Amino acid sequence: MTFIDAHQHYWSLGRGHNDWPPPALAAIFRDFAPEDLKPHLAAAGITKTVLVQAAPNLAETEFLLDLAAREETVAAVVGWVDLWSGQALHDLQRFRQHPKFRGIRPMLQGIEDSFCILRPEAIALLERLPELGLRFDALIQPRHLPVISALADRLPDLPIVIDHAAKPFIAGGMIEPWRADMAALARRENVCVKLSGLVTEAGPGWSIDQLRPYVRHLLEVFGPQRIMFGSDWPVVNLDAGYAEWWQAANALVSDLDAAARRAVFSTTAAHFYGIEA
């Protein structure tokens, strides 16, 4: 089986297009490249990854596509375009000429207007993604879940994946209304979710038992065929190592049968992003 890490990042701070991470996040305030990740991939038996943008500008997407062209472990790239710009379709058509370009992520979590994704100009662009063979990564917070449900209803042919399970408030022990809103979203069959970012939301001192209610709920409402593992490396380094999260994720799905575990760690991501597995 080909294991896939469906969510990781590379960045080079000196290129000038990254304003994140800030210096205060000392554990990840440096360049991260394939040579840094490959030992972790090898230890976990992961051979393919999905490289996801971390800055809201075209220059970073160009940087990631250039890197992906040279790096065989990168099977897919999720980039960025300004959905609300008249230039967005042109940028999409340009990026999709690259064989590893698979979708876009507009970083909704950093936008104050929770409903901006439903603006007419955004809808007009997103409805073009399926015909272009592209997907939509939703970087959101719990406040956005009803909005993404509305988006999925409006565009039922648009493949949507929720990054980091919509960042539930694990550190505060809050599971509602995230649980109810995630269950409602799961009724939209065009939506998947990433098993990623949870240790960061739990914070220092996290435990598998702390994460278990959230993962159990995802498995109940989405099913393993719509859940994909992601490391969120190197952001995961803020609260855990790659191996630590890999082992925790495996423990959290250890009661699933082999086919279901294969879905979480391989086939869901392969199907969603068009990766040969």
Amino acid 20: pLDDT: 84
Amino acid 78: pLDDT: 98
Amino acid 135: pLDDT: 98
> Quick check: 233 and 248 in contact, CB under 8 A?
no
Q: What's the Rg (C-alpha) of the chain?
A: 17
> Is the pLDDT at 149 greater than 90, yes or no?
yes
d(CA 146, CA 114): 10
Range of the domain at 149: 3-273
Alpha-carbon distance values, 7 to 97, 112, 235 (Å): 22, 24, 11
Amino acid 154: pLDDT: 98
* pLDDT, tens digit (0-9, with 9 covering 90-100), for 208-263: 999 999 999 999 999 999 999 999 999 999 999 999 999 999 999 999 999 999 99
Mean pLDDT of 146-167: 98
> Quick check: 203 and 171 in contact, CB under 8 A?
yes
Q: What is the mean pLDDT of the chain?
A: 97
Residues belonging to the chain: 277
The burial of 140, by beta-carbon neighbours within 10 Å (0-12 exposed, 13-18 middle, 19 or more buried), is given as buried
Amino acid in the structure at residue 74: V
Considering its fold, how many domains does the chain have in total?
Answer: 1
Tokens 């098993």 map to which residue? 195
CB neighbours of residue 146 within 10 Å: 16
Q: List CB contacts of 220: < 8 A, sequence separation 6 or more.
A: none
Mean pLDDT of 87-100: 97
Bridge partners of residue 106, in order along the sequence: none
* pLDDT, tens digit (0-9, with 9 covering 90-100), for 29-85: 999 999 999 999 999 999 999 999 999 999 999 999 999 999 999 999 999 999 999
Q: List CB contacts of 108: < 8 A, sequence separation 6 or more.
A: 114, 116, 117, 138, 139, 140, 144
Residue 193: phi, psi to the nearest 5? -145, 150
> Is the pLDDT at 1 greater than 80, yes or no?
no
* pLDDT, tens digit (0-9, with 9 covering 90-100), for 252-269: 999 999 999 999 999 999
H or E element at residue 40: helix 34-44
Helix 34-44 with 242-252: angle, nearest 10 deg: 40
Residue 205: phi, psi to the nearest 5? 80, 10
d(CA 219, CA 221): 6
Confidence of residue 17 (pLDDT cuts 50, 70, 90): confident
> Is the pLDDT at 277 greater than 80, yes or no?
no
In three-state form (DSSP H/G/I as H, E/B as E, the rest C), the secondary structure along 160-208 is: EEEHHHHCCCCCCCCCCCHHHHHHHHHCCCCEEEEECCHHHHHCCCCCH
Amino acid 175: pLDDT: 98
CATH code of the domain covering residue 115 = 3.20.20.140
> Quick check: pTM over 0.95?
yes
> Is the pLDDT at 16 greater than 90, yes or no?
no
